[in-house]
Chains A and B, each alone.
Chain A
Amino acid sequence: MTLSVTGLTKVYGAGDTAVRALDGVSVTFGQGRFTAIMGPSGSGKSTLMHCAAGLDTVTGGSVLLNDQDLTKLSDTALTRLRRTRIGFVFQSFNLLPTLTAKQNILLPLELAGAKPDPRWMTTVIDTLGLADRLGHVPSQLSGGQQQRVACARAMLPRPDVIFADEPTGNLDSRTGHELLEFLRRSVRELGQTIVMVTHDPHAAAYADRVVLLADGRIVDDIENPTADAVLGRLRTLGV
């Protein structure tokens, strides 16, 4: 699997009020790697993620997932692709309130009309410690549990890549670290590719690599980051 973004440009609005959220971003997310995207607020992190995940249209450039250009696909084709090849974890969980945890987890696969691999399912559920919570609806779960359900939902179809936009933003630090620990394990042990947007240098330290954005451009790329190193670089950007 390779996901590479080339010359990506995204302009919101037109004329005087036009905002250039992304300005020629090129980056490749490698197989089995945990990449964090960081940068000041408004630097274009979410926009980059949305465009790379085929959730939003681009103004220019291309997004290649295994040599397939996502920017050229129709809405329906993109939607089908998202079902099994791309996973999402959102800051505010975004579980379906009417479905149980298990139904939520199975939703993307069912939409694709596929059956889950039972062994993989057991692995994911056990790793996330959700076995005794499967019959509950989201309102009966804590925030951390809800986010773990969201992770399981993203993992189960074994997508090519999982995008996570500030997944720990709504969690306390202990629960947040547990989640990050799980994400790192799924990369190390299960070979999952993850791209995560975060504001927290400690969260970024769980990743293999940090890409720094500012004003819609990539300004830095750090391998094997530590919290201090990241913090230092961010300071130089004036955050």
Chain B
Amino acid sequence: MWRFTFASLTKHARRLVATTMAVVLGVGFTAGTLIFGDTAQAGFDETFARTAKNVDVVVLAGDHPLTAEQLRAVSGVGDVDHAEGRMAASLPMLGSSGRPLLNNGRSGYAVSVAEDESLRGFDLDGHAPAAGEALLDLETAAHEHLSIGQRIQVLDKSGAIQSYTISGLVDFGVSKKYSGLSVVGLPQAEITRLTGESGLEEIVVRARPGTDQNELAQRVRSALADGVTVKTGAQRRTDLANEATSVATQFTFILLIFGVISLVVAIFVIYNTFAILLAQRVRETALLRCIGATRRQIFGATLLESAAIGLIGGAFGVLAGIGISYGLPLLLNNALHSGVPDHPVVVRAAPVLIGLTLGVVATMAAAAIPALRATRTRPLAALRDVPSAATTSRRSKVVRAIVALAAGAVGVFITVRGGQTDDSETATFIVVGGGVVVFLGVLAASPLFIGRLTALVGLPAGRLAGPPGRVAVANARRNPGRTAVTTASLMIGVGLMAMFSMLLGSIKETAKDQLSSHYPADYMVAAVRDGKTGEPGRIPMAYADQLKGHKELATVATIRSAKANVDGKVLHLGAIDHPELLPQLPGGLTDGAIVVDDKQPDPNLPSLRTLAAADTTIPGAGRFDGIVTWSQLEKLAGPGDGSLVLVKAASGVSPVESREILDRVGLAYPLTVVNSVADLSSGLETAVNGLLGLFAGLLGTTVLISLFGIANTLSLSVIERTRESATLRALGLTRGQLRGMLLAEALLMGLVGALVGIVFGLVYAPLVLQAALRDVVPVIVTPWDWLAGLVLLAAAASCLAAVLPARRAARGAIVAAMADR
């Protein structure tokens, strides 16, 4: 049987190319994700652990920053070669526009540069800053197009601008602490001079050679008071690496889901190939049975064949995976700014073995059912002509319908239960689970309806293209099982794409809707938040007063937030000097009254009259325990500045005009940020489009695999129908018509798969959305442009898949093909 397997493999090599490609892609994606995971892990490890390089013992601050005395105490411990205090303070840096560089409304950091080179927590390109010099982080430098020798400006605590020359660049990688924020490196004393702060974040210690880290840590611990954490350098590096793992596994987990999806699609393709091949080989198999091959031998030979393909596909898949692992960081960093560090690709044994195993196991599993079916071939079949159209018994149809209905019912039940679940996260999870089950039902049922659907979709083909069109439709219908499995793989990819596009599109529109209905103003001027603590800063009253002087601005409302003690309760209160601007306070607010949060139990305040319970969120400022008038808050918490200014332009004033006024007034107040509702919308748009691109990219592999499936089914069918094609040619079908016929058949399969997938996505996306967004009424949009694009893409791609088989079919000479048996 070995020899037979080998012979049949080599004889059918060309027929197996597309299948092997499906295995390669499915395995490639998964192996690529695993390799990427290892690589990212190594990269994260490296960048995270960098801060603890050369460190033997580290002292971490507790609730309070570490002091200079503590540093001296550590330095005095025996066997301490050198101890260095590390400082990090908020320090806004100004960008080229003269405004502070912000990330999420937060300004940047200053970090101290250790005098001792080996104890610096970063690698330095350039030299340590001398007087009038500073270091800058690479990311900010790249973003602002700055290089060594150029000047940067920072704002000191009094708001004055200070300039430095860049003496070096520092790579902080993906450090969570600094991610996206500007980081300026300065000598410790200079930071204290700028910010007034002197507390230390951590103290790092280098021991004398030959000192035991644990022992030294113990001694350092006893030299310090409680309230600090002392760790050895090794411990610290492990901690940091663990932090890195959680970052890396997040990505890998999501990617692996897509890997599994593509593998499932590949299994469909493999299953179909073997089902078709073995159906074509019935005579061969029967002949083997005639001459004495046992069922077990037939089964074994088929499985052996599939194992060989799985091994070859798996091996190439692992190679492809290495290639994919180069591409994934680019995709992720572009779409998500995930900040996966650059690192040479790490190929460990595990992904290679997993890839090979997956290839073999998936292929063998996919081939098992067709192989089992092949063993049922009776020796007599060798003498019969092979029926060209598969016939399905009534009973198996009924069984199929029952299974599909049962799966559908269970899925619908789960979905409904999910919709009734209160917790939105659980609800989403359950609804998605229900969707998967319903989809399985649809897949199970698809051989029953795919034929009719194909006929329906193919109606125009018959009308427009005459007999070739009609034959194409008939051919696409003749093996419903085969067509169903072929289209199922496309259904999965296109369905998920449709669903994601609708989900993301709806989330975007919902958010925009929330913006426009909840944002009572055109602009929101916020105080820059502290880089280190994230606390909002203050906006001087003079700023709002200056804005009020412009008649182009109809309303300028200042919002202040403060903690106040009311009737013995500490409440986080918000105040606004134009209460009528807030949609939840249409009637305004009077002194002595309060609007309380409807999400919290009634605070029951005897000294304040509760006007209403409402949504106490003020855009840009968050949710409050209650909202009161400005003067009421001054009575409760004393006088103070606002932290947010809402501005509404007068009617008839163009956005350009009003924006110009805000920018001009803002020049004197660098620590304010102007956000327009329009900016927020467009920011949202970019973010959502980035995500859409990412999902499309990830699902692209799935769609690609299903296209190999279409090409595969088609070319196998073409081989099967050689004589028929020749007959058609003899009767007057031109070469072009024959090619067109096969293109039409592929087009039909592609369209049917895409349509079913899209319908499924359209049904489930709103359900998932309703489960996920419990607090708001989601605006559900159908992304017709995307869906139309998907249909066109599926159509174009399936035609592309048909090009080679069609050319092969049309190339053959009629007479030779007619003789082919």
Contact = CB atoms under 8 A, between A and B. Distances in A.
B519 to A, nearest CB: 62
Interface string B374-405: 00000000000001110000000000000000
A80 B730 contact: no
Interface in A58-94: 75-76, 79-80, 82-84, 88, 90, 94
Contacts of B564: none
A215 B734 CA distance: 33
Contacts of B691: none
Interface string B721-740: 00110011111111111000
Contacts of A94: 723-724, 727, 730, 818
Contacts of B467: 103, 107, 110-111
A50 to B, nearest CB: 5
Find the residue from A90, A94, A98, A103 having the highest chain B CB count within 10 A: A98
B471 interface: yes
Given A97-B388, A111-B466, A139-B387, A79 B734 contact: yes
Interface in B783-821: 813-815, 818
A132 B737 CA distance: 32
Q: Is the interface of B mostly helix, strand, loop or mixed?
A: helix
A220 B814 CA distance: 29
A111 B389 contact: no
Nearest to A56: B815
B731 A82 contact: yes
Nearest to B816: A56
A79 B388 contact: no
Nearest to B814: A55
Given A88-B730, A110-B466, A98 B814 contact: no
B451 to A, nearest CB: 12
Contacts of A75: 734-735
B177 to A, nearest CB: 68
Interface in B724-780: 724, 727-737
B818 A76 contact: no
Contacts of B477: 98
Contact of B471 (A88, A98, A112, A113): A98
A79 B474 contact: no
B724 A111 contact: no
A187 to B, nearest CB: 21
A108 B734 CA distance: 12
Find the residue from A56, A103, A111 having the highest chain B CB count within 10 A: A111
Find the residue from A107, A112, A153 having the highest chain B CB count within 10 A: A107
A99 B731 contact: no
Find the residue from B468, B478, B735, B814 having the highest chain A CB count within 10 A: B814
A76 B723 contact: no
Given A76-B734, A107-B731, A111-B731, A99 B474 contact: yes
B475 interface: yes
A230 to B, nearest CB: 26
B530 to A, nearest CB: 74
A82 B389 contact: no
Given A98-B389, A98-B474, A98-B478, A112 B732 contact: yes
A84 B731 CA distance: 9
Nearest to B731: A108
A113 B730 contact: no
B388 A82 contact: no
Nearest to B389: A97
Q: Is the interface of A mostly helix, strand, loop or mixed?
A: helix
Contacts of B735: 75-76, 79
Contacts of A90: 727, 818
Contacts of A55: 730, 814-815
A11 interface: no
A161 to B, nearest CB: 14
A111 B814 contact: no
Nearest to A82: B732
A79 B728 CA distance: 10
B609 to A, nearest CB: 82
Nearest to B738: A79
Contacts of B737: 111
Interface in A83-134: 83-84, 88, 90, 94-99, 103, 107-108, 110-113
Nearest to A163: B730
Nearest to B385: A92
B472 to A, nearest CB: 10
A174 to B, nearest CB: 22
Contact of A96 (B728, B732, B813, B815): B728
A73 B729 CA distance: 16
B821 to A, nearest CB: 9
B815 A79 contact: no
Contacts of A110: 466-467
A76 B471 contact: no
Contacts of B733: 79, 111
A156 to B, nearest CB: 11
A88 B814 contact: no
A108 B732 contact: yes
A79 B734 CA distance: 6
A79 B729 contact: yes
B466 A98 contact: no
Nearest to B388: A97
A139 B389 contact: yes
Given A98-B389, A139-B387, A79 B732 contact: yes
A98 B734 contact: no
Interface in A155-208: none
Given A79-B729, A79-B734, A82-B731, A99 B815 contact: no
B813 A56 contact: yes
A70 to B, nearest CB: 14
Nearest to A106: B467
Contacts of A153: 731
B815 to A, nearest CB: 5
Nearest to A92: B723
Nearest to B468: A111
Contacts of A97: 388-389, 478, 724
B732 A83 contact: yes
B625 to A, nearest CB: 74
B207 to A, nearest CB: 84
A83 B466 CA distance: 14
Contacts of B730: 55, 82, 88, 94
A97 to B, nearest CB: 5
Contacts of B815: 50, 55-56
Interface in B463-515: 466-468, 470-471, 474-475, 477-478
A55 B814 CA distance: 7
A179 B768 CA distance: 67
Contact of A88 (B466, B724, B731, B734): B731
B724 to A, nearest CB: 6
Nearest to B478: A98
Contact of A83 (B389, B474, B731): B731
Contacts of A113: 466
14 contacts: A55-B730, A80-B734, A83-B732, A84-B732, A90-B727, A95-B727, A97-B388, A98-B471, A99-B470, A99-B474, A107-B731, A108-B732, A111-B731, A113-B466
Interface of A: 50, 55-56, 75-76, 79-80, 82-84, 88, 90, 94-99, 103, 107-108, 110-113, 139, 153
Given A82-B732, A139-B389, 14 more contacts: A55-B730, A75-B734, A75-B735, A76-B734, A76-B735, A76-B736, A83-B732, A95-B727, A96-B724, A96-B727, A97-B724, A98-B474, A111-B468, A111-B737
The 3 closest A-B pairs by CB, nearest first: A83-B732, A98-B474, A94-B727
